[in-house]
Amino acid sequence: MEEKFIVRNYFNETGFERWKRIYGDEAVNRVQYSIRVGHQRTVDQVLAWLSDVQGRTVCDAGCGLGSLSIPLAERGAIVYATDISEKMVEEARRRAESALPHCDRLRFEVCDLENLSGRYEIVVCLDVLIHYPLTQVEKMLDHLSARATHRLVLTYAPKTLFFSLLKRIGQLFPGASKTTRAYQHRSRDIEEILVRRGWKIVNRAAIDDKFYFARLILAER
Protein backbone atom coordinates (compact mmCIF):
# COMPACT_ATOMS: atom_id res chain seq x y z
CA MET A 1 0.00 0.00 0.00
CA GLU A 2 1.21 3.50 -0.75
CA GLU A 3 2.72 5.29 2.29
CA LYS A 4 0.11 8.02 2.16
CA PHE A 5 -2.81 5.63 2.58
CA ILE A 6 -1.12 3.87 5.48
CA VAL A 7 -0.56 7.25 7.14
CA ARG A 8 -4.13 8.39 6.47
CA ASN A 9 -5.61 5.19 7.92
CA TYR A 10 -3.35 5.46 10.95
CA PHE A 11 -4.40 9.07 11.68
CA ASN A 12 -8.07 8.12 11.26
CA GLU A 13 -7.81 5.19 13.67
CA THR A 14 -5.27 4.34 16.43
CA GLY A 15 -3.13 7.35 15.56
CA PHE A 16 -6.03 9.72 16.05
CA GLU A 17 -6.61 8.57 19.64
CA ARG A 18 -2.88 8.62 20.41
CA TRP A 19 -2.20 12.11 19.00
CA LYS A 20 -5.39 13.54 20.51
CA ARG A 21 -3.94 12.62 23.90
CA ILE A 22 -0.45 13.88 23.05
CA TYR A 23 -1.80 17.21 21.74
CA GLY A 24 -4.10 17.58 24.75
CA ASP A 25 -3.71 18.06 28.46
CA GLU A 26 -4.77 14.73 29.94
CA ALA A 27 -2.29 12.39 31.66
CA VAL A 28 -0.01 10.55 29.24
CA ASN A 29 2.95 8.19 29.50
CA ARG A 30 6.51 9.57 29.60
CA VAL A 31 7.18 9.03 25.87
CA GLN A 32 3.99 10.85 24.93
CA TYR A 33 4.71 13.59 27.49
CA SER A 34 8.13 14.18 25.98
CA ILE A 35 6.60 14.40 22.49
CA ARG A 36 3.98 16.85 23.84
CA VAL A 37 6.65 19.06 25.39
CA GLY A 38 8.95 18.95 22.34
CA HIS A 39 6.09 19.66 19.95
CA GLN A 40 4.93 22.64 22.02
CA ARG A 41 8.46 24.05 21.86
CA THR A 42 8.32 23.69 18.07
CA VAL A 43 4.99 25.53 17.93
CA ASP A 44 6.33 28.28 20.23
CA GLN A 45 9.44 28.71 18.07
CA VAL A 46 7.34 29.02 14.90
CA LEU A 47 5.08 31.59 16.56
CA ALA A 48 8.18 33.57 17.58
CA TRP A 49 9.56 33.47 14.01
CA LEU A 50 6.18 34.42 12.55
CA SER A 51 5.53 37.32 14.90
CA ASP A 52 4.28 39.50 12.01
CA VAL A 53 1.42 37.28 10.76
CA GLN A 54 -1.36 39.81 11.30
CA GLY A 55 -3.37 39.91 8.04
CA ARG A 56 -1.09 37.43 6.23
CA THR A 57 -2.32 34.29 4.49
CA VAL A 58 -0.98 31.07 5.96
CA CYS A 59 -1.48 27.52 4.79
CA ASP A 60 -0.89 24.95 7.55
CA ALA A 61 -0.35 21.71 5.61
CA GLY A 62 -0.92 18.62 7.74
CA CYS A 63 -2.43 20.79 10.48
CA GLY A 64 -3.33 17.93 12.81
CA LEU A 65 -5.50 19.24 15.64
CA GLY A 66 -4.75 22.87 14.90
CA SER A 67 -2.02 23.30 17.54
CA LEU A 68 -0.38 25.95 15.34
CA SER A 69 -3.34 27.06 13.18
CA ILE A 70 -5.42 28.20 16.15
CA PRO A 71 -2.76 30.47 17.75
CA LEU A 72 -1.86 31.84 14.30
CA ALA A 73 -5.49 32.83 13.71
CA GLU A 74 -5.56 34.25 17.22
CA ARG A 75 -2.66 36.51 16.18
CA GLY A 76 -4.62 37.79 13.17
CA ALA A 77 -3.38 35.50 10.37
CA ILE A 78 -5.83 34.25 7.73
CA VAL A 79 -5.31 30.52 8.06
CA TYR A 80 -6.20 27.72 5.67
CA ALA A 81 -5.51 24.52 7.59
CA THR A 82 -5.65 21.12 5.92
CA ASP A 83 -4.99 17.54 6.85
CA ILE A 84 -5.26 14.16 5.17
CA SER A 85 -7.20 12.73 8.14
CA GLU A 86 -10.93 13.41 8.46
CA LYS A 87 -10.80 12.62 12.18
CA MET A 88 -7.96 15.07 12.85
CA VAL A 89 -9.79 17.83 10.95
CA GLU A 90 -13.05 17.15 12.78
CA GLU A 91 -11.30 17.45 16.17
CA ALA A 92 -9.33 20.52 15.00
CA ARG A 93 -12.60 22.25 14.05
CA ARG A 94 -14.04 21.40 17.47
CA ARG A 95 -10.98 22.82 19.27
CA ALA A 96 -10.98 25.94 17.10
CA GLU A 97 -14.66 26.60 17.74
CA SER A 98 -14.05 26.34 21.45
CA ALA A 99 -10.89 28.51 21.45
CA LEU A 100 -12.01 31.07 18.87
CA PRO A 101 -15.80 30.92 18.44
CA HIS A 102 -17.06 31.98 14.98
CA CYS A 103 -13.60 33.03 13.85
CA ASP A 104 -13.72 33.76 10.11
CA ARG A 105 -9.93 33.81 9.71
CA LEU A 106 -9.57 30.07 10.23
CA ARG A 107 -10.76 27.37 7.82
CA PHE A 108 -10.12 23.64 8.16
CA GLU A 109 -10.41 21.22 5.26
CA VAL A 110 -9.62 17.58 4.57
CA CYS A 111 -6.96 17.59 1.85
CA ASP A 112 -3.60 15.86 1.42
CA LEU A 113 -0.80 18.30 0.90
CA GLU A 114 0.00 16.91 -2.55
CA ASN A 115 -3.41 18.20 -3.71
CA LEU A 116 -3.34 21.64 -2.14
CA SER A 117 -4.12 24.50 -4.47
CA GLY A 118 -3.87 28.27 -4.19
CA ARG A 119 -1.04 30.56 -3.12
CA TYR A 120 -0.27 31.71 0.41
CA GLU A 121 2.28 34.15 1.80
CA ILE A 122 3.40 31.54 4.31
CA VAL A 123 3.24 27.75 4.08
CA VAL A 124 3.91 25.68 7.21
CA CYS A 125 4.35 21.93 7.46
CA LEU A 126 5.17 20.67 10.96
CA ASP A 127 5.96 17.09 11.95
CA VAL A 128 4.57 15.60 8.74
CA LEU A 129 7.69 14.78 6.69
CA ILE A 130 8.74 12.21 9.32
CA HIS A 131 6.06 9.93 7.81
CA TYR A 132 7.61 9.87 4.32
CA PRO A 133 10.78 8.66 2.58
CA LEU A 134 13.03 11.21 0.85
CA THR A 135 11.69 10.61 -2.69
CA GLN A 136 8.19 11.48 -1.51
CA VAL A 137 9.43 14.37 0.65
CA GLU A 138 11.04 15.87 -2.44
CA LYS A 139 7.72 15.80 -4.32
CA MET A 140 5.91 17.22 -1.31
CA LEU A 141 8.39 20.09 -0.98
CA ASP A 142 8.02 20.74 -4.69
CA HIS A 143 4.31 21.13 -4.27
CA LEU A 144 4.50 23.19 -1.06
CA SER A 145 7.13 25.47 -2.65
CA ALA A 146 4.73 26.22 -5.49
CA ARG A 147 2.05 27.21 -2.97
CA ALA A 148 4.24 29.64 -0.94
CA THR A 149 5.02 33.17 -2.11
CA HIS A 150 7.23 34.40 0.77
CA ARG A 151 8.01 31.91 3.52
CA LEU A 152 8.15 28.20 4.07
CA VAL A 153 8.43 26.69 7.55
CA LEU A 154 8.93 22.98 8.06
CA THR A 155 10.25 20.30 10.38
CA TYR A 156 11.85 16.94 9.74
CA ALA A 157 13.32 14.26 11.98
CA PRO A 158 17.11 14.45 11.84
CA LYS A 159 19.21 11.51 10.79
CA THR A 160 21.49 11.29 13.80
CA LEU A 161 23.21 8.32 15.35
CA PHE A 162 21.45 8.81 18.69
CA PHE A 163 18.00 9.01 17.14
CA SER A 164 18.71 5.92 15.02
CA LEU A 165 19.79 3.98 18.10
CA LEU A 166 16.68 4.99 20.02
CA LYS A 167 14.54 3.98 17.11
CA ARG A 168 16.30 0.65 16.83
CA ILE A 169 15.83 -0.24 20.45
CA GLY A 170 12.18 0.62 20.05
CA GLN A 171 11.92 3.16 22.84
CA LEU A 172 10.71 5.90 20.62
CA PHE A 173 8.34 3.98 18.40
CA PRO A 174 7.03 1.14 20.51
CA GLY A 175 5.19 -1.25 18.24
CA ALA A 176 3.70 -1.12 14.79
CA SER A 177 0.17 -0.81 16.11
CA LYS A 178 1.02 2.44 17.88
CA THR A 179 2.62 4.36 15.06
CA THR A 180 3.60 4.44 11.40
CA ARG A 181 7.14 4.08 10.18
CA ALA A 182 9.30 7.08 11.06
CA TYR A 183 11.71 8.38 8.43
CA GLN A 184 14.73 10.44 9.38
CA HIS A 185 16.28 12.88 6.94
CA ARG A 186 19.70 14.45 6.53
CA SER A 187 19.73 18.23 6.93
CA ARG A 188 21.90 18.45 3.81
CA ASP A 189 19.28 16.61 1.71
CA ILE A 190 16.37 18.75 2.89
CA GLU A 191 18.25 22.02 2.53
CA GLU A 192 19.50 21.12 -0.96
CA ILE A 193 15.93 20.44 -2.08
CA LEU A 194 14.84 23.84 -0.78
CA VAL A 195 17.76 25.75 -2.26
CA ARG A 196 17.13 24.12 -5.69
CA ARG A 197 13.60 25.50 -5.51
CA GLY A 198 14.84 29.04 -4.91
CA TRP A 199 14.59 29.19 -1.11
CA LYS A 200 17.10 30.84 1.19
CA ILE A 201 17.34 29.25 4.64
CA VAL A 202 17.15 32.17 7.06
CA ASN A 203 16.68 30.35 10.37
CA ARG A 204 17.20 26.90 11.82
CA ALA A 205 16.38 25.39 15.20
CA ALA A 206 17.06 22.01 16.77
CA ILE A 207 14.30 20.97 19.13
CA ASP A 208 15.16 17.88 21.10
CA ASP A 209 13.49 16.38 24.11
CA LYS A 210 13.93 12.82 25.42
CA PHE A 211 11.67 11.29 22.77
CA TYR A 212 11.10 14.18 20.39
CA PHE A 213 13.68 15.21 17.81
CA ALA A 214 12.95 17.86 15.23
CA ARG A 215 14.88 20.17 12.97
CA LEU A 216 12.96 23.32 12.19
CA ILE A 217 13.67 25.47 9.15
CA LEU A 218 12.47 28.91 8.12
CA ALA A 219 13.06 29.64 4.43
CA GLU A 220 12.34 32.81 2.51
CA ARG A 221 12.53 34.10 -1.05
Ligand X SMILES: C[S@@+](CC[C@H](N)C(=O)[O-])C[C@H]1O[C@@H](n2cnc3c(N)ncnc32)[C@H](O)[C@@H]1O
Kindly state the smallest distance separating residue 63's Cβ from ligand X, in Å.
6
**Contact footprint for ligand X (CB under 6 A):** 4, 7, 11, 19, 61-64, 67-68, 83-85, 88, 112-113, 126-128, 131
Nearest 5°: CA angle at 38, between 192 and 17? 105
Quote the CA–CA distance of 217 and 191 in Å, as a whole number: 9
Quote the CA–CA distance of 118 and 112 in Å, as a whole number: 14
Kindly state the smallest distance separating residue 47's Cβ from ligand X, in Å.
12
- Phi first, then psi, for residue 180 (nearest 5°) are -95, 180
Kindly state the smallest distance separating residue 87's Cβ from ligand X, in Å.
8
Q: Which is nearer to ligand X, 127 or 152 (CB)?
A: 127
Q: Which is nearer to ligand X, 66 or 78 (CB)?
A: 66
Quote the CA–CA distance of 217 and 124 in Å, as a whole number: 10
Q: Which is nearer to ligand X, 6 or 202 (CB)?
A: 6
Kindly state the smallest distance separating residue 150's Cβ from ligand X, in Å.
20
Q: Which is nearer to ligand X, 135 or 161 (CB)?
A: 135
Q: In what order do the strands lie in the sheet with 200-208?
A: 106-110, 78-83, 57-61, 120-125, 148-156, 213-220, 200-208
